A = this chain, B = another copy of it.
């Protein structure tokens, strides 16, 4: 049994939907059961949000979710009809009908459990289930959406609940690359990658898979295959790390220009001060990424951290207030930064990677402003205007 997820561009118009129906037919002909999960067509979601902005300044989460979930209803019923045209019986299911139960946190609900009885019943009578991605029904019986990357999460969670052999994520790129091919023309497609590497890539600027869907796949041992619905060629397998998997020291260089650096200067260097700042930022729902605290001088220190650009204003408001209360000197935001990261499972056993990364950047005069590391990732914040050069240099230096 294969769960096949088709993203917005994969069902972007009538021709693409017919191509997806053809592909499902072929997959079945090869002896597989298929469960399809679809996103809304192309720009549907953007169009609906534009309408909401035109009609009102108030967008209660429950109503926004009701609005946005109409998008998948359209794509899933059209795909079912396209399958019917190929004489394949298909049955579409909303998140609610598919038994996807979420919490009540509208616009970014979490899946609590899945009761796929109607999907199983559909498979049993030979009808291909076509499931709406991105949506569920809350414990309060209201329609919810799962937020960014929600359709990937639906597909992975369904694959886990149905104990499927594989979850295929069809998208508009042909897999996971060693770097963004627009920046590094010689970047190559990775044939396979471990969950942990994929998590680090997703967290450090990779836009192909949403972080939470990879987490879900790792926790539930769902094998993923990320591939193109335009070329249909084999893509990148994402699975458990194993001995046969080549442990590349560095698998990929990723970069991210979506963050901003916030610095609070003259912070009294006393226990609990930093905690207080970050608690208040967390309380307004902002995810802080990298944090650097300078060495203290005369009892004062500077604290820098990065947050998503979209959260800059909220963060600055909170940080300015907190700075005042704790007697810090100043708060400023610097949007002209970018982050370059090296990711590789083999890093764990190769201590020289950090040094080589710093040397490579230093040799070209690229200044490193912040550093953060995990067991299989090193990230450096640099000026935004040199980020592409940094990616190219590292891709070359590590012979990717």
Contacts and interface: CB of A to CB of B under 8 A. Distances in A.
Interface of A: 14, 17-18, 48, 51-52, 54-60, 62-64, 66-67, 69-71, 73-74, 76-78, 80-82, 84-85, 90-92, 94, 97, 118, 141, 143
A66 B38 CA distance: 14
Given A14-B55, A17-B55, A55-B17, A73 B66 contact: yes
Given A58-B81, A63-B80, A63-B90, 11 more contacts: A14-B54, A14-B55, A58-B85, A63-B92, A66-B76, A66-B77, A66-B94, A67-B73, A69-B73, A70-B70, A70-B77
A199 B118 CA distance: 42
B97 A81 contact: no
5 contacts: A55-B78, A58-B84, A60-B84, A62-B91, A62-B92
Contacts of A78: 51-52, 55-56, 67
Q: Is the interface of A mostly helix, strand, loop or mixed?
A: helix
Nearest to A93: B66
Contacts of A84: 56, 58-60, 63
A155 to B, nearest CB: 19
Copies in the complex: 2
Residue of A52, A71, A73, A85 with highest tally of chain B CB at under 10 A: A73
A85 B73 contact: no
B74 A51 contact: yes
A64 B77 contact: yes
A57 B85 CA distance: 6
A85 to B, nearest CB: 4
B73 A60 contact: no
Given A73-B69, A141-B97, A63 B51 contact: no
Contact of A92 (B55, B66, B81, B90): B66
A368 to B, nearest CB: 46
Contact of A74 (B48, B85, B91, B94): B48
Contacts of A64: 77, 81
Nearest to A92: B66
Contact of A80 (B48, B51, B60, B94): B60
B52 A81 contact: yes
A348 B85 CA distance: 54
B60 A81 contact: yes
Contact of A51 (B14, B56, B58, B71): B14
A46 to B, nearest CB: 14
B69 A81 contact: no
A97 to B, nearest CB: 7
A51 B90 CA distance: 18
A58 B79 CA distance: 11
B54 A81 contact: no
